[in-house]
Chains A and B, each alone.
Chain A
Amino acid sequence: MTQIFAYIPFINGVAADVALEYPSAAKKIDEGASLTAVVAGSGADLDKVANEMTSIYSQVIKIDNADLAYPNAEVVRKALVNILPTDAVFLTAHDTFGMDLAPGLSVKMDSAYAADMVDFEGIDGTTLKAVRQELGGAVSTHVAVDISSGAVMTVRPGSFAPVDGGSAGGSVVDKSGDAGDLSTKRKFLEIVAAEVGDVDITKSDVLVSVGRGIEDEENIEIAQELAEAMNAVVSCSRPIVDAKWLEKSRQVGTSGQTVKPKVYMAMGISGSFQHMGGVKGNPFIVAVNKNPKAPIFQVADVGIVEDILDFIPELTEAINDL
């Protein structure tokens, strides 16, 4: 039987959304697999998360150690190597922590490694068929992962359907004692917080988000006007921040802010994974882009093929006329 272990990242006692997604991923790997959550940390936050996980997972492994107070991937890896069975199929999110942790873990576990999985298509013998995207999402590939001696895999957050928690009735197993020596040559010092801008885009229910299609700094104004008409706030994708047309605090994406609006107006945004990774909470997404092949149209609810420079002012006018 495949033994799947899912690592639960959490911040300030709140587990990441991906915790609800692992069970779907595990089912796609092997319907009959056992699934165990792994929670590592220290103190009350850890206990809170571990207990919460019992409603989603039938088994929860808890690793409590002062050295894990901050999730330093080097420390977590050492603990995991001592605790996981050698043929474990280990899942972690493809986020900045997972990317730090997983490749080295696969070496230490002497198991296969596969990154950024967006889908699984089951096991045939000891070969797991999985799907990932390449070349900026332009193409997908099937990969065959030999899991005979276990596997370490990162899964793309948001790619698997979240499950409803609350009924698993699981129990917490404290494996803190098995963690072993956790000394490392990399010490966490501090978090340097991103500069806070004049607006908090995470607090707005409606976002007018602009991308490359805005073309020029002067055109940001038309987005501002639409945002005013919709009582919304302007956010943007990374190229806009790189061009210094808007401040970093307005950037949506994995390297920017994570937002959970009700309505997300993606204006001239192609819709890269890195950008959409920052859009959470299943908002109603409106995409306007002059390229009919823009990936954004695959994730949006409503798509419009138009040049935003022409479209936005007309929409603004129409809304103001209501």
Chain B
Amino acid sequence: MEILVCVKRVPDTAENEFELNSAGNDLDRDDLVYSVNEWDNYAVEEAIQIVDKAGGSVTVITVGDDESEEVLRREMAMGANNGILLSDDAFEGSDGLGVAAILKAEIQKGNYDLILSGAQADEGAGQVGGMLAAMLDMPYASLVNKIEAGDGKITVGREIEGGNQEMNEMDLPCVLSIQTGINEPRYVGIRGIRKVASVDIPVKGASDLGLDAVNVGEAGAKTKRVDYFVPDMGDGAEMLEGSTDEIIEKLIEKLKANGGL
């Protein structure tokens, strides 16, 4: 099975403390560290496991700048066979639709049976997979936490509310967005990345993909991020202060008043 996994480089939520810059309209990006979107790791691991059983190859693809090559290498160190970087100044500022359109242009050149993405990214909207499927006229399922590959068909479990699992049967080729917990992604260390450091990763721009710059990038975006801000969440909680005994006394009163005791 030929599998394509769409991945993305994002600020790492686990290893960053987000603060706004002095102007208050963007993140303070000086000390941010970036890594591959957590959900994408699960997607790549799943792809590798499917290929280990059924044969085929795994290709990882991303739309981004030069630094995005790092996430492709990390996924290739996990065991993905090929990487493709879609990069062009014209791509900058693309919204989800733009990114999906760029990916679509490359995907149509290949012959993939299965296209995976992460179910969402911490800074994203969980949109590219679904858009891509619609553009390619392929069936789509989101929040996938189980895959059983069959012949021409695939059985897919989706994580839905209440911890339940919705089982579906889908025709191939199809697009799936992968939820965390579907597997246990393998570890990739510095050594793994160095081993694939010299593997050639083709970089393709708008002209390689036959894309018109008007339709992608900022120009083509229908949804644009205007600024960042720290939300004013209103009054928030009434903070109880004082010694622990005083706090407990006040709390017990409030619990009594609200039916807690």
Contacts and interface: CB of A to CB of B under 8 A. Distances in A.
Tell me if chains A and B make direct contact, with any CB pair below 8 A.
yes
Interface of A: 72-74, 77, 95-97, 99-108, 111-116, 129, 131-136, 138-146, 149, 151, 184-194, 205-206, 230, 232, 242, 248-249, 251, 254-258, 262-263, 265, 284-287, 295-306, 310-311, 314-315, 318-319, 322
12 contacts: A97-B160, A100-B130, A104-B131, A107-B97, A114-B125, A114-B223, A115-B127, A151-B222, A186-B171, A298-B236, A304-B251, A318-B245
Contacts of B230: 139-140
Nearest to B159: A255
Nearest to A132: B125
B251 A284 contact: no
Contacts of B155: 189
B260 A304 contact: no
B237 A135 contact: no
Nearest to B27: A139
B229 A142 contact: yes
A302 B254 contact: yes
B188 interface: no
B233 A298 contact: yes
A140 B229 contact: yes
Nearest to B125: A115
Given A100-B141, A144-B224, A185-B174, A257 B162 contact: yes
Given A113-B222, A115-B126, A129-B226, A192 B168 contact: no
A305 B239 contact: yes
Contacts of A300: 236-237
Nearest to B167: A189
Contacts of A192: 157, 164-167
A113 B131 contact: yes
Nearest to B130: A103
- The 3 A-B residue pairs with the shortest CB-CB distance, nearest first, are A103-B130, A303-B237, A115-B125
A285 B258 CA distance: 10
Interface in B1-19: 11, 13, 16, 18
A145 B237 CA distance: 33
Interface in B100-150: 100, 119-120, 122-123, 125-131, 133-135, 138-143
Given A301-B237, A304-B247, A112 B222 contact: yes
Contacts of B163: 194, 248-249, 251, 255-257
A141 B247 CA distance: 36
A150 to B, nearest CB: 10
A50 B259 CA distance: 36
A304 B165 contact: no
B191 interface: no
Contacts of B167: 188-192
B231 to A, nearest CB: 4
A262 B223 contact: no
Given A96-B160, A186-B174, A140 B169 contact: no
B255 A189 contact: no
A100 B140 contact: yes
Contact of A96 (B20, B129, B158, B222): B158
B240 A186 contact: no
A131 B224 CA distance: 11
A149 B223 CA distance: 12
Given A115-B125, A144-B226, A297 B139 contact: no
A230 B255 CA distance: 10
B122 A134 contact: yes
A143 B225 contact: yes
A114 B124 CA distance: 10
A9 to B, nearest CB: 10
B101 to A, nearest CB: 9
B30 to A, nearest CB: 15
A8 B237 CA distance: 32
A140 B228 CA distance: 6
B27 to A, nearest CB: 7
Nearest to B258: A284
Contact of B227 (A108, A142, A185): A142
A216 to B, nearest CB: 20
Given A113-B97, A136-B13, A298 B234 contact: yes
B247 A145 contact: no
Given A302-B251, A319-B252, A145 B222 contact: yes
Contact of B259 (A138, A185, A284, A322): A284
B229 A139 contact: yes
